[in-house]
Chains A and B, each alone.
Chain A
Amino acid sequence: MESYALLLAATLNAGTVLALASLGLLINEKVGIVNLGAEGMMLCAAIAGFATVVTTGSDTLGFMAGMAAGAGLAAIFGVLVIWLNTNQYATGLALTLFGTGFSAFVGTSFVQARIPERASFAIPGLADIPLVGPALFRHHPLVYVTVLLALALVWFMYRTRSGLIMRSVGESPESAHALGYPVRRIRLAAVVAGGALCGLAGAYISIIYTPLWVEGMVAGKGWIALALTTFATWRPARVLLGAYLFGGVTMLQFHLQGIGVDVPSQFLSMLPYLATILVLAIISRNPQWIRINMPASIGKPFYPGG
């Protein structure tokens, strides 16, 4: 039983990374922008966050550095795709290729660095409940913030006027433009906000999840986060659930190894990627359903009067 509690705890931890990044990408896609640069932004944010914690000793500054790195890169991407009308897929790929190289380049001097052991987190009282405590109440505060964030996003997108405007930009930028909304600025704001969240996810990886720096340590989580928005049919609450599900699959490999399942570790390491493929295939099976839920202008450039 104890080990299942720990598995659940690890699942929430891994799911938080995916949820943060995927919520960020959801914000992007809701205004019609697909950012394939997620992996690159997360890597740059991971090294930015880690380097900041190593030099200043402050986790908060580390998270802020990660968010700044993500937001900064997203802003460059945004200007390119929104004002210069570059192809979103190609530009996102360029961002990932650049980010992968740049993070490895900047990170060389931090490969050996370690950050000090931090006090474990616990919610007083609740953390001491047997089984439930270790599973649910001994996490980094960001794990709980992520849940609140998803709920806040639901409220923002479906209960506020700004959220309605944001969604309208994604559904029909032409109509939003005709109504006088600054479509391109709204898109840029969403792209930057999404980048900041991807950055936060990246920083969480290198500061809390596996507190060290290794080249390419995001290991495809940015891509899985991209798949999650489709999986969730662009709904924030479903993104959160999907993220925990995939976090669970990621952790399952360690659990299976732990209980001595006789399968080569490499096959267990394939699980998250295979699961992503499988889920994508199942979810996309009905193109009608995807089309109804998908923001209509996704991937398409918008040029006022052009």
Chain B
Amino acid sequence: MLKLEARPEPSKVWTYASPLLALTITVLIGTLMFAALGKDPVKGLQMFFWLPIQSGYAWGELLVKATPLLIIALGLAVCFRSNVWNIGAEGQYIIGAIFAAGVALLAEPGTGAWIVVPILLAGVLGGMLWAGVTALLRDRFHANEILVSLMLVYVAVQLLSYLVGGPWKDPMGFNFPQSKTFDAVTRIPRLFTGSRVSIGVFFALLGVVGLWVFLFRTRAGFSLQVGGLAPAAARYAGFSSRKALWTALLISGGAAGLAGALEVAGPIGQLTTSVPAGYGFAAIIVAYVGRLHPVGMVLSALLMSMFYIGGELAQSRLGLTKSLTGVFQGLLLFSLLACDTLVNYRLVMRKSRSK
């Protein structure tokens, strides 16, 4: 019978091979699913893995979706590395979008382009505030951050629905739950004509560098990770777990809020109930599949963005549903977690002894 045997040291090879194996398994299961639905698997997989990268414009769209995913995931990596389970990034993203929209709605035709700066700052602030609630309740009352941050997502969704259905509703909007379209001056500057890629990409790349420096070259980043890996050792070394909690949640909240601001003042251009697109949850997968490493997450953000675009294409071209995206995302995380076993254990043939 096959048994698992602990490796003396984690396998370097499998650290890199496991995400690839997981992707292969996901594709295989995806193929079976398309076949079971009576759709041509080749066509189906094309939607997910070829069309999103086949042209310059397609690459642009890929970056548009990868940007918020990466920004949120960078923040979440700080949390997960310090063993703080913030799974409410979606809520922090929504509140960031709301705060940013609040500033954007103040803009008038005469306003200067500087308005973009306060819009982004407001987004960061909103996200930090929302994550701060979780940090406060965890710090002061030991309330489980998983449940609190997640409950706050539902609260944020209701708050958004209230704002766009009430005080911020567009009077000319035919009663749709949406704000008026923001003034053109609030639009996050784009990089090229003919593509929706904005300066958000720079924020994401800056974040990648920033996170790398923070994690691997600063004392604060180091103590945070020790706290995550070995809380007792961190206490002994005098690293404050409270400080780590607040740092991790505020950074990830701010990042999610920034992503929300970039989206609402970027591709969307108004506040609507369709602002929450599940990026906050998908970013959890981005973070894991990217091994919580800044560079790894760049790749996984692109991959997850492919899944998003693939889902939309499968809907518009094959008549399937967009929710395929979620199926693929979930499958990928599942298979990755299973494959990661091979990093710390090896498979050996042995007679069964222990149960």
Contact = CB atoms under 8 A, between A and B. Distances in A.
Is chain B found bound to chain A in the same assembly?
yes
Interface string A204-223: 00000000000100011001
B87 to A, nearest CB: 6
Nearest to A34: B146
A86 B338 contact: yes
B337 A277 contact: no
B341 interface: yes
A224 B320 CA distance: 32
B354 A105 contact: no
Contacts of A99: 330
B334 A98 contact: yes
B331 interface: yes
A227 B133 CA distance: 17
A80 B143 contact: no
Contacts of A30: none
A184 interface: yes
Chain A contact residues: helix, strand, loop or mixed: helix
Given A86-B340, A95-B334, A276-B151, A104 B159 contact: no
B346 to A, nearest CB: 12
Top 5 A-B pairs ranked by shortest CB distance?
A: A101-B326, A98-B330, A104-B323, A266-B162, A94-B333
B355 A266 contact: no
Interface in B84-119: 85, 87
Chain B contact residues: helix, strand, loop or mixed: helix
B321 A281 contact: no
B195 interface: no
B28 interface: no
29 contacts: A80-B337, A85-B4, A86-B338, A90-B337, A94-B285, A94-B334, A97-B285, A97-B329, A98-B329, A98-B331, A99-B330, A101-B324, A101-B329, A101-B330, A105-B326, A108-B323, A264-B162, A266-B161, A266-B162, A267-B162, A269-B158, A273-B155, A277-B137, A277-B143, A280-B143, A281-B137, A285-B141, A290-B142, A306-B4
Interface in A83-130: 83-87, 89-91, 93-95, 97-102, 104-105, 108
